[in-house]
Amino acid sequence: MTRSREFWPVALTLTSGFLVWAAHFAMIYGLTALACARGFNDAKLLGLEVVPLGVGAATLAALLMVVWVIMSCIRWRGPRREDALTRFLRYTTILIGGFAILAIVWDGLPAILIGSPCR
């Protein structure tokens, strides 16, 4: 985040954790609903059921994206004397990313542990 801030890049960076979580949420519930509606919930791919495999892959991808955002905020080295607004935006992005990690794990864990939800 630089001194010359534009609204949309800052807003997207700040809320990126929530945006990744929302995409993950829609993807895993969409996959589960589609598998139950079309009857391919018992299909196997690589020896694993399709729904837990898809949810696991989506969860891993979402976690990696949020961790990347958090790490880029932590590693960002701005000017020696960072102004209060830049520091606030950076720390808030990290905090929102942490909450997003909890939400992503919370959403993905049941499908991975329980298996196919259509039974």
CA 43 from centre of chain:
26
Q: Are 60 and 110 in contact (CB under 8 A)?
A: no
The domain segmentation of the chain, as residue ranges, is 14-114
pLDDT for 55-113, tens place per residue? 999 999 999 999 999 998 887 666 667 778 888 888 999 999 999 999 999 998 887 78
Collect all residues with Cβ–Cβ distance below 8 Å to 30 and sequence separation of at least 6: none
pLDDT for 28-64, tens place per residue? 999 888 888 888 877 777 877 788 888 999 999 999 9
Task: Please say if the pLDDT value at position 19 is more than 90.
Answer: yes
Q: Is 20 left (phi over 0), alpha (psi -120 to 50) or beta?
A: alpha
Identify which of 99, 110, 114 has the alpha carbon closest to the alpha carbon of residue 59.
Answer: 110
**3 state DSSP class of 89:** helix
Q: How confident is the model at residue 24 (pLDDT cuts 50, 70, 90)?
A: very high
User: Would you state the pLDDT for residue 1?
Assistant: 47
